[in-house]
Chains A and B, each alone.
Chain A
């Protein structure tokens, strides 16, 4: 159901506005709404400046928290710091230090990976380290070619020889990564030409790592030493980061909460009317919480701040502008996840959650109707239920899954199905054999559709009556009556009820039709035909149910279809798994569609604004 809301107005001296907002935020129940004043009366350029300042500070805090790897859900109290500017300066200092640690770490990591690459490069040429180079005063070029590029090596050697007339040596080895290490030795005289040729050929030299000027074949010990040194520095940086996180993490989390709360208050400020000396704050809150807010305002803000409750007649916006929050009994509450997939219902209309909680599992169960598939779904939903936290969407989905699986098992018992007709093999008795009773199953599906759609019409009538639209309410009632009369006349035609009733029923239908057109115009006829179409649309329950059963039959027949029983069983299990996936996905989609299109279409009025009270910020779970 939609929680009953009350509009309240709090007014007082402007000097008490911040305190008032803090009191309201502490209670966390008031959805602040702009008072009925012209747009030009709301000045928010000062607030916009303050907001930018808070956002900048918050960015510093959140960057520091991220750099220090403080968990996002660290609990901290958003107490007001003794000096907000000083706290912000301190946060900025921590952020700068954290930034410096991150930058240094990234640079060292880069050096480390380069040295490791160098290390491997030199390891493959280690055997040459003891030999004298052809040109002791020559220059060495280190090149790494990508994997598969070794075919260019003969061409490179030929071009180098041509360029420097034989004063060059080229050695190559494959690295473990598949790349190719190429060592080019050139005399001092030839080196500039070799360098120019490499540049012209777009062959990149391996850049020399920082802190290791002398790069030659004998630098292996120096590389190892530098790697050890980098590891030590990295460990020291990690230690410093952890110490900084321990020392500042909780405090920074507290400051983040404070700044987030400040942002929420500033956003709320934009919805408050302020004049030179006073403020006026309007808002909505659930009816049972009015006395709580009244007591807090009286106790904490004193006689200077007054709070009053506005009746619907005092509020020119009308009650339809009230924000919407749903509150259903614990049994129905998980099904709000289905209702919330479409826009919230308008305030004053009907929350369909209780009806969804009854019909959604019923439709699903009728379509799947198999103990085996129901047990598989129950196991899956059970795992999600155990792995999820209370009050989360995943928990709600898992609960809905458990309800649907229970329904599938219950209908499976009625149909006597366990992975299709295997139910009969294990001794399940069929109370309603949907494999044979196709037409009764179709009639059952359409009859269920008639009940569902007619319920929608009843709700539409009630909703219109409550909203003061009496003519529309009567129109819905007449449409409902016409559908019932049509159903009865069909039953009379098939002699389920006495045949003699046909004439009076047809006369009543014609009279109702005239009344309906008089009430709602010719468009009522189109709506009526659409409603009949909606009822017939429930035939999909029978169609999907039969299709699911047939797939299970095919799966079972695979056991004897492959010569080998083992292969047949494996294929049958795989096919059952596929049928289970289809059997879960498709009924969910179609049960949703039957609700959103056929059922909601009769009465549901979307467009409700979400109830978002001014409250303290909490990290997302």
Chain B
């Protein structure tokens, strides 16, 4: 039972930030694309802005790994 809960916790740890990242990138992406159509020189800033929300899912992944390691240990 405890293993199942830990697995669920790991899934939530990565799943919820993944949804949040997707939502944020879904809003930033079109805005970045529209900006690039008018000012192509903004490409670097656009890429960085799109990459910033990925921090959430990446840190979620790290937390999920830590939970799974605890489950394994």
CB of A543 within 8 A of CB of B44, answer no
Residues in A neighbouring B61, C-beta threshold 8 A: 543, 546-547
Cβ of A34 within 8 Å of any chain B Cβ, yes or no, is no
The verdict on A539 contacting B44 (CB below 8 Å), with A593-B52, A597-B52 known, is no
Q: How far is the CA of A537 from the CA of B54 in the complex (A)?
A: 10
Cβ of A196 within 8 Å of any chain B Cβ, yes or no, is no
CB of A540 within 8 A of CB of B55, answer yes
Q: How far is the CA of A76 from the CA of B51 in the complex (A)?
A: 47
A526 to chain B, nearest CB (A): 18
The verdict on A589 contacting B47 (CB below 8 Å), with A438-B65, A439-B69, A546-B65 known, is yes
Residues in A neighbouring B48, C-beta threshold 8 A: 592-593, 596-597
Residues in A neighbouring B65, C-beta threshold 8 A: 438, 442, 543, 546
Cβ of B31 within 8 Å of any chain A Cβ, yes or no, is no
Instruction: Flag B51-62 by CB within 8 Å of A: 1 or 0 each.
Output: 110110011011
CB of B69 within 8 A of CB of A341, answer no
Interface size class of B (residues with CB under 8 A): 10 to 19
Q: How far is the CA of A537 from the CA of B59 in the complex (A)?
A: 8
Residues in B neighbouring A590, C-beta threshold 8 A: 51, 54
Instruction: Flag A515-547 by CB within 8 Å of B: 1 or 0 each.
Output: 000000000000000000000110110111011
CB of B51 within 8 A of CB of A593, answer yes
List which A579-598 residues lie within 8 A (CB) of chain B.
589-590, 592-593, 596-597
Instruction: Flag B32-55 by CB within 8 Å of A: 1 or 0 each.
Output: 000000000000100110011011
Residues in A neighbouring B47, C-beta threshold 8 A: 589, 592
CB of B59 within 8 A of CB of A342, answer no
Q: Which residue of B lies closest to A547 (CB)?
A: B61
Residues in B neighbouring A593, C-beta threshold 8 A: 48, 51-52
Q: Which residue of B lies closest to A445 (CB)?
A: B62
B21 to chain A, nearest CB (A): 12
Q: How far is the CA of A593 from the CA of B54 in the complex (A)?
A: 11
CB of A540 within 8 A of CB of B58, answer yes
A602 to chain B, nearest CB (A): 16
Q: How far is the CA of A589 from the CA of B47 in the complex (A)?
A: 7
CB of A539 within 8 A of CB of B59, answer yes
Q: Which residue of B lies closest to A338 (CB)?
A: B44
CB of A539 within 8 A of CB of B62, answer yes
Q: How far is the CA of A547 from the CA of B64 in the complex (A)?
A: 12
Residues in A neighbouring B54, C-beta threshold 8 A: 540, 590
Specify which of A438, A537, A547, A596 is in contact with B55 (CB 8 Å cutoff): A537
Q: How far is the CA of A593 from the CA of B50 in the complex (A)?
A: 10
A338 to chain B, nearest CB (A): 10
Residues in B neighbouring A540, C-beta threshold 8 A: 54-55, 58-59
Q: Which residue of A lies closest to B68 (CB)?
A: A438
CB of B44 within 8 A of CB of A542, answer no
The verdict on A539 contacting B69 (CB below 8 Å), with A589-B51, A593-B52, A597-B48 known, is no
A283 to chain B, nearest CB (A): 26
CB of B58 within 8 A of CB of A539, answer yes
List which A337-368 residues lie within 8 A (CB) of chain B.
341-342
Q: How far is the CA of A542 from the CA of B58 in the complex (A)?
A: 9
Q: How far is the CA of A543 from the CA of B65 in the complex (A)?
A: 9
Q: How far is the CA of A342 from the CA of B47 in the complex (A)?
A: 12
Residues in B neighbouring A438, C-beta threshold 8 A: 65, 69
Residues in B neighbouring A341, C-beta threshold 8 A: 44
Q: How far is the CA of A546 from the CA of B58 in the complex (A)?
A: 11
Q: With a 10 A CB-CB cut-off, give which of A542, A543, A544, A597 has the most chain B CB atoms.
A: A543
Residues in A neighbouring B66, C-beta threshold 8 A: 439
Residues in A neighbouring B55, C-beta threshold 8 A: 537, 540
Question: Hey, which bits of chain B sit against chain A, CB under 8 A?
Answer: 44, 47-48, 51-52, 54-55, 58-59, 61-62, 65-66, 69
**Known contacts A537-B55, A543-B59, A593-B51, then 15 further A-B pairs from the complex at CB < 8 Å, ordered by chain A residue:** A438-B65, A439-B69, A442-B62, A536-B59, A539-B62, A540-B55, A543-B58, A543-B65, A546-B61, A547-B61, A589-B47, A590-B51, A596-B44, A596-B48, A597-B48
Question: Hey, which bits of chain A sit against chain B, CB under 8 A?
Answer: 341-342, 438-439, 442, 536-537, 539-540, 542-544, 546-547, 589-590, 592-593, 596-597
Instruction: Please list 10 pairs of residues, one from A and one from B, whose beta carbons are closer than 8 Å in the complex, sorted by A's number.
Output: A442-B62, A540-B54, A543-B58, A543-B59, A547-B61, A592-B47, A592-B51, A593-B48, A596-B48, A597-B48
What 8 A-B pairs are tightest by C-beta distance, nearest first?
A341-B44, A540-B58, A543-B58, A543-B61, A593-B51, A539-B62, A589-B51, A543-B62
